[in-house]
C-alpha cells in the first residue's frame, strides 16, 4: 500500500471526524462540570494572570492555553463564547488524533485494519461526547498516542531518531495531564524487560543510551511544572494514585457511593477492579469486546513485533492498575478514564472484524453464478458497520450531557430574576457559569449559610437525598421552602430535575418542603 493511499485515507477520515465532532459539539446540552474549571483557568490566562494560571492551578496548563488560543480566534466574552472556544480546542485535537490512531493500527495490525480502527474509535459514542466537550482528554490523547506511535517505531527499528519526538510528546502530554508520565515510564520498563528475551535484546551501549535519554529528557521538559507545584501534580486524584495524598473521605463528594467504615482493603480493591472492568467495557462497548479478544488471538505470535507488543502491553496493564488504584483511593472510575485502554482494544477489534469479514465466502450460486466462491465485498462491510451504528445510534444522537440540561434553563431564570451582585448556591457551578453570577459550590457551601446577599439556591433532585454531607447542608439551607421553578418542564427519563429556591423570599421560609420524585 503506497504512502499516497495512506495519506488519502487519513485526510478523508479527518474530514469525516471533523464533521461528526462539529455536529456533536453543536448538539451540546451543557458542558461537563470539569470544563468549567478549564474555562476559568483559561480566562485567568487571557486576563494576564499568567504565572498563577499556568503553574498554580490544579490542572496542568496546556489545554487552558489551547482554549485561550481558540478564544482569540473565535472572539466574544460571554459564557457561550468561552464554551465554544473550549469545544473548538478539543475538537481540533480530536481531528488530529485520527493520525496517531491510524498509524498505531497500521503498525500493529496492518494497512487493511488501520482505517477501520479509526472508524470504530469514533463510532463508539463515548469518543464524540468526550472530544466535543470542554475536556482535556482529546489534547492529552493526541500527544500520548502520538508518543506511543514514535515509541513503537523506536522499538521496532532501534533508531535513536524516534526518541526525541517521543520525549517531546511525553512532555506535552504531561503538560496536559500528569498521566503523561506513563509514556516514558512504560518505555523504560519495556527496555528493562527486553534483555530477558534473546529475540528482543538490544546492544548494550544503545540500551544504556536510550534509558538515560528517556529519564533525563522528560525530567528537563517537565521541570517547570514540577518546580512550581512542588511535585508531579497538585491534583488530589493523582496524589492518591501515587500514594502522596490520603484517600478520599468516606463521604467525599467525588465518591460514587459512601465508603463503609468496616470495608476491608481487600474488598475495596475487589470493588475497584470491578469498576475498572465496567469502565473499560463501557468505553470499548460490548459489541467490540469479543472482537478485540479475537483480534489479539489472531495477531499472536507477535514475531518481529515482539518489542512493540511488550510496550503496548505494559502501557495497558499499568493503566488498568492505575484505574484500580484511582477507584480504591478516590471512589470513582468512569469510562472516559479508560480511553487509553479503549483505543488499543478497539484497534484489535478492528483487526478481528477485518479478518472475520475477510474469511466470509459466498457460493457463486447465491449471486447467480454457476460455480466458484466469492469473498465478502463492500456490501458485507456496509452491513457490518450499519449493524454497529444501529446499536450506537441513540447514544450518538443524544446531546452531550443531556441529563443535566435543566441547569441551562435555570441559568436563564437567574439571569432574569437575580441581580448581578447577588449570590447563588449551585453545587455544580453550571447555572452560575451560564448566568454570569457569583456564589457557592461544593467547595465553599458552608459559607453560604450566613451570607445576606444570597438570593437563590439551585439544586437537582439527587442533591436532596442521601447521606452525603452536602445533602444535609443543602437541606438545612433550604429548610421548608418550596421551589419557585423547576427545569426541564417535561424531563425525559434520564434527566435530572433542577429546582430553584428563593432564599430571599420570607414567605417561602415557612412553606412545606416539596416531595421530590426521582427522575
- Cell 438545612 locates to 476
User: Domain extents for the chain?
Assistant: 3-354, 402-510
For helices 62-74 and 33-46, give the axis angle rounded to 10 degrees: 70
C-alpha distance across the termini of the chain, in Å: 53
CB 429 within 8 A of CB 441: yes
Q: What is the dihedral of CA 140, 146, 151, 157, to 10 degrees?
A: 180
Q: According to the model, what pLDDT value does residue 477 have?
A: 86
CB 276 within 8 A of CB 324: yes
For helices 306-330 and 137-157, give the axis angle rounded to 10 degrees: 150
HEC assignment per residue over 110-158: CHHHHHHHHHHHHHCHHHHHHHCCCCCHHHHHHHHHHHHHHHHHHHHHC
Residues whose CB is less than 8 angstroms from the CB of residue 422 and which lie 6 or more positions away in sequence, other chains included: 437, 453, 454, 455, 456
pLDDT 10s digits, 323-360: 999 999 999 999 999 999 999 999 999 999 999 888 87
Residue closest to 104 by CA, chosen among 121, 89, 127: 121
Q: According to the model, what pLDDT value does residue 508 have?
A: 43
Q: How many residues does the chain have?
A: 519
The whole-number mean pLDDT for each consecutive block of 10 residues of the chain, a chain of 519 residues, reads 92 97 93 93 87 79 95 93 96 98 96 94 96 96 97 88 93 94 93 73 72 86 81 83 88 85 92 97 96 93 81 96 96 95 97 88 62 66 86 91 94 93 92 93 84 90 83 86 92 91 61 40
For residue 392 the three cell numbers come to 450506537
Strands 438-440 and 423-426: parallel
Return contacts of 57-62, CB within 8 angstroms, 24+ apart: 58/234, 58/235, 59/136, 59/177, 59/235, 60/174, 60/175, 60/176, 60/177, 60/178, 60/225, 60/233, 61/175, 61/225, 62/136, 62/139, 62/172, 62/175, 62/176
Round to whole Å and give the CA distance between 461 and 2: 57
What is the phi/psi pair of residue 385, to 5°? -70, -35
Name the β-bridge partners of 486.
499
Round to whole Å and give the CA distance between 434 and 78: 8
HEC assignment per residue over 401-432: CHHHCHHHHHHHHHHHHCCCCCEEEECCCHHH
CB 306 within 8 A of CB 199: yes
Round to whole Å and give the CA distance between 343 and 346: 5
pLDDT 10s digits, 175-190: 999 999 999 999 999 9
Strands 483-487 and 498-502: antiparallel
pLDDT 10s digits, 460-490: 988 888 778 888 888 888 888 899 999 998 9
CB 418 within 8 A of CB 462: no
CB 342 within 8 A of CB 284: yes
pLDDT 10s digits, 7-30: 999 999 999 999 999 999 999 989
Amino acid at each position: 500500500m503506497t504512502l499516497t493511499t495512506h495519506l488519502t485515507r487519513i485526510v478523508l477520515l479527518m474530514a469525516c471526524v471533523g464533521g461528526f465532532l462539529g455536529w456533536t459539539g453543536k448538539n451540546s446540552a451543557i458542558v461537563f462540570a470539569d470544563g468549567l474549571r478549564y474555562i476559568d483557568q483559561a480566562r485567568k490566562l487571557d486576563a494576564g494572570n499568567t504565572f498563577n494560571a499556568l503553574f498554580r492551578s490544579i490542572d496542568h496548563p496546556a489545554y487552558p492555553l489551547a482554549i485561550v488560543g481558540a478564544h482569540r480566534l473565535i472572539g466574544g466574552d460571554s459564557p457561550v463564547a468561552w464554551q465554544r472556544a473550549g469545544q473548538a480546542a478539543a475538537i481540533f485535537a480530536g481531528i488530529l488524533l485520527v493520525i496517531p490512531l491510524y498509524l498505531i493500527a497500521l503498525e500493529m495490525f496492518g494497512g487493511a485494519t488501520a482505517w477501520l480502527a479509526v472508524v470504530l474509535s469514533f463510532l463508539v459514542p463515548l469518543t464524540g461526547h468526550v472530544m466535543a466537550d470542554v475536556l482535556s482528554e482529546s489534547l492529552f490523547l493526541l500527544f500520548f498516542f502520538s508518543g506511543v506511535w514514535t515509541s513503537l517505531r523506536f522499538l521496532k527499528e532501534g533508531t535513536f531518531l524516534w526518541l526525541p519526538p517521543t520525549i517531546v510528546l511525553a512532555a506535552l502530554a504531561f503538560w496536559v495531564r500528569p498521566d503523561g508520565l506513563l509514556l516514558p515510564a512504560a518505555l523504560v520498563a519495556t527496555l528493562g524487560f527486553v534483555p530477558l528475551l534473546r529475540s528482543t535484546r538490544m546492544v548494550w551501549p544503545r540500551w544504556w543510551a536510550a534509558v538515560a535519554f528517556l529519564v533525563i529528557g522528560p525530567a528537563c521538559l517537565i521541570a517547570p511544572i514540577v518546580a512550581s507545584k512542588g511535585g508531579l501534580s497538585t491534583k488530589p486524584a493523582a496524589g492518591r494514585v501515587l500514594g502522596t495524598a490520603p484517600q478520599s473521605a468516606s463521604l467525599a463528594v467525588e465518591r460514587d457511593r459512601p465508603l463503609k467504615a468496616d470495608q476491608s482493603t481487600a474488598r475495596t480493591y475487589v470493588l475497584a477492579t470491578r469498576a475498572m472492568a465496567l469502565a473499560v467495557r463501557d468505553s470499548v462497548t460490548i459489541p467490540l469486546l469479543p472482537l478485540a479478544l479475537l483480534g489479539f488471538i489472531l495477531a499472536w505470535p507477535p514475531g518481529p513485533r515482539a518489542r512493540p507488543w511488550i510496550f503496548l502491553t505494559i502501557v495497558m496493564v499499568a493503566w488498568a492498575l492505575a484505574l484500580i488504584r484511582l477507584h480504591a483511593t478516590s471512589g470513582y472510575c468512569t469510562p472516559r478514564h479508560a480511553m487509553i485502554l479503549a483505543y488499543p482494544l478497539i484497534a484489535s477489534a478492528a483487526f478481528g472484524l477485518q479478518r472475520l469479514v475477510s474469511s466470509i465466502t459466498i457460493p457463486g450460486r447465491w449471486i447467480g453464478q454457476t460455480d466458484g466462491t466469492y469473498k465478502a465485498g463492500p456490501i458485507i462491510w456496509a452491513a457490518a458497520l450499519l449493524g454497529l451504528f444501529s446499536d450506537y445510534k441513540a447514544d450518538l444522537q443524544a446531546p452531550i450531557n443531556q441529563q443535566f440540561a435543566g441547569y441551562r434553563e435555570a441559568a436563564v431564570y437567574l439571569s432574569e430574576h437575580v441581580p448581578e451582585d447577588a449570590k447563588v448556591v449551585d453545587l455544580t457551578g453550571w447555572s452560575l457559569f451560564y448566568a454570569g453570577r457569583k456564589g457557592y459550590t461544593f467547595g465553599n457551601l458552608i459559607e453560604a449559610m450566613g451570607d445576606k446577599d444570597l438570593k437563590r439556591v439551585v439544586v437537582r433532585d439527587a442533591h436532596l437525598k442521601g447521606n452525603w454531607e452536602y445533602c444535609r447542608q443543602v437541606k438545612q439551607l433550604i429548610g421548608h421552602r418550596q421551589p419557585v421553578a423547576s427545569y426541564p418542564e417535561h424531563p425525559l427519563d434520564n434527566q435530572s430535575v433542577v429546582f430553584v429556591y428563593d432564599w430571599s423570599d420570607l414567605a417561602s421560609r415557612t412553606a412545606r418542603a416539596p416531595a421530590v420524585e426521582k427522575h
